Amino acid sequence: MSATAHKKAPNAEDIRARKGTEPLVSLTAYTTPMARLMDAHCDFVLVGDSVGMVLHGLTSTLGVTMDMMIMHGQAVARGLDRAMMVIDMPFASYEHDPAQAFRNAARLMSETGAGAVKLEGGVEMAKTIRFLVKRGIPVMAHIGLTPQSINTLGGYKVQGRDKQADAVLADARAVAEAGAFSVVLEKVPQSLADQITSQIAIPTIGIGASAGCDGQILVVDDMLGFFTAFKPKFVKRYADLGPLAEAAIAEYATEVRARSFPADEHVFADQTPSNQTPSKGSKS
C-alpha cells in the first residue's frame, strides 16, 4: 500500500480499541468548511448540540431540534473523508423511553451518515444505551456536566467533587457495561477522571477533565476564538480569530464607504472586440 493511499475512517470499534493507546483527538464541527479543516487531524468529529449556542445564538442547548442536528450533520458529512462523524441526540429526543431513542437515533444516522450518536446521562440512561447498541446503533455516552440538564444541576458547575464522586463513577461504570463504545467526561475533577479512566474498559474523552483521559474534545469555535460570549476555564485558545475577523470586516466597511473597494483589479472591463481586417473590396 502506498504512503498516499486513502485512509479509511474509523468506526466505533476502532475508537474503542484505542483505549490506553495514543490519545484520541476530537473537535466539534457544524459546517462543511470547518469539517474539511479538521478532517485530516481528528479521529472523530462531533456534530454537537452546542451548535445552538455557537451558531444560533441560543442561551443553552435545550432549544436545539432534530431538524437542526440533521441539517448540520449533513453539512459536516460533506466535509469529512478520514474522520468518523458522531452526532448529538438533542434534548427530549431520547429520554422518554428506549423506543423513542431508537427512532430518533436511527433517523439521525440514516439522514446524516453519522457513525454513532452521543447522548447524555449515566445510570438512568443505561437501559436505553443497551437497547440502542443491541439494535445496531453505536453510542458514545456523556457524563459529568451534562448541558441538557443544567436546570436540574444548577448551572454549569463542576460535577463529581466530594460526595458526588461515587455517583459519577457509578455513571461511568453503567454506560460502559451497557455497551457504550466511549464516554465523554465533562467538567469533572482531574483525580476522578483519572480514576474513571483506569477503571472502565472503554475510552474516556475529556473536556475539562484530565490529560490522562484516553482522548480530548473541544468546541472548535472556543479554541479558535470565534465564540467570545464566554470562555470556560478548560478551553485553551489556540488562535484568536474573532478579533481578526472583526478587524477585517471593519476595514472592508471603511473601504466601501470611501469607494476604494472595489478597485480596478476587482471589476470587469467592457469586452473589447477582436481586431478584424476588412475583407477585400469592402467599403470602410
* 122: Cβ contacts below 8 Å, ≥ 6 apart: 141, 143, 167, 168, 170, 171, 172, 174, 175
Q: How far apart are CA 75 and CA 56, in angstroms?
A: 15
In the numeric block, which cell numbers belong to residue 152? 436540574
Q: How far apart are the first and last CA of the chain?
A: 70
Q: How far apart are CA 215 and CA 15, in angstroms?
A: 10
Could you write out the three-class secondary structure of 119-158? EECCHHHHHHHHHHHHCCCCEEEEEECCHHHHHHHCCCCC
Question: Which residue matches cell numbers 487531524?
Answer: 41
Catalytic residue among 22, 120, 177, 186, which? 186
- Specify whether 186 is catalytic: yes
Contact between 186 and 209 (Cβ < 8 Å): yes
Q: Which residues are designated catalytic?
A: 186
